Amino acid sequence: MEELKQVTPRAEVTFSDDIRQEIGDKISLNGIYEDAVILHGSPPFTIPKLCVSIRYYQRPSDGYDPIRLVIERKGENNIEVLGSIDIDRSPFKNAEFPTDDEADDPQIKLAMNAVFAPLVVTRSGRLKVFIEDNGKRLRVGSMMFKFSSTQPAENGGSETATE
């Protein structure tokens, strides 16, 4: 069977309540969110802490020009940038790639975490994560915030959600 290789550059994004650096080069993500966060009540709603874990991957052939990581959401009349960082990829030129027999498709990984504490949500909408590279935007993750007028059910879910 043909083995397909993943497209690069790419990124994986996980939203959670907390990120912890553990002993032994281990990272713990606690309270991982799925596709949406249901906020019970009316806006504005303050989330005490929202963490965004981003893992960026590229091959040596993907280039070494600077890139920018952007986290944004739609405001009332504009796009609100919650955070951005310029990433200098020139040091990747000198990176050592795995050379063992299993590393037939070596890639560089860059791990980044962002913490928003607190995060005030004033409207339903999507928080988006982008990588900007040479005038192109690659959307690498997003999470929806929805307001609900119902209270959570006993099992932790809700009966209905409204925007």
In Å, what is the CA distance from 137 to each residue of 4, 68, 101, 102, 152? 24, 9, 34, 32, 37
62 secondary structure, DSSP code: G
Strands 119-121 and 45-47: antiparallel
* pLDDT given for residue 103 in this prediction: 65
Side-chain-side CA neighbours of 133 within 13 Å: the count stands at 17
pLDDT at 30: 96
pLDDT at 54: 95
Encode pLDDT of 36-47 as tens digits.
999 998 899 999
Q: Is 149 exposed, middle or buried (0-12, 13-18, 19+ CB in 10 A)?
A: exposed
pLDDT bracket for residue 163 (50, 70, 90): very low
Mean pLDDT across the chain: 87
pLDDT tens sequence across 61-100: 888 899 999 999 987 788 999 999 999 999 888 877 666 6
Domain 10-148 class? Answer: mainly beta
pLDDT in tens, 101-133: 666 777 888 899 999 999 999 999 999 999 999
State the pLDDT at residue 159: 44
Q: What pLDDT shows up at residue 160?
A: 40
pLDDT at 162 over 50: no
Instruction: Give the model's pLDDT for residue 94.
Output: 84
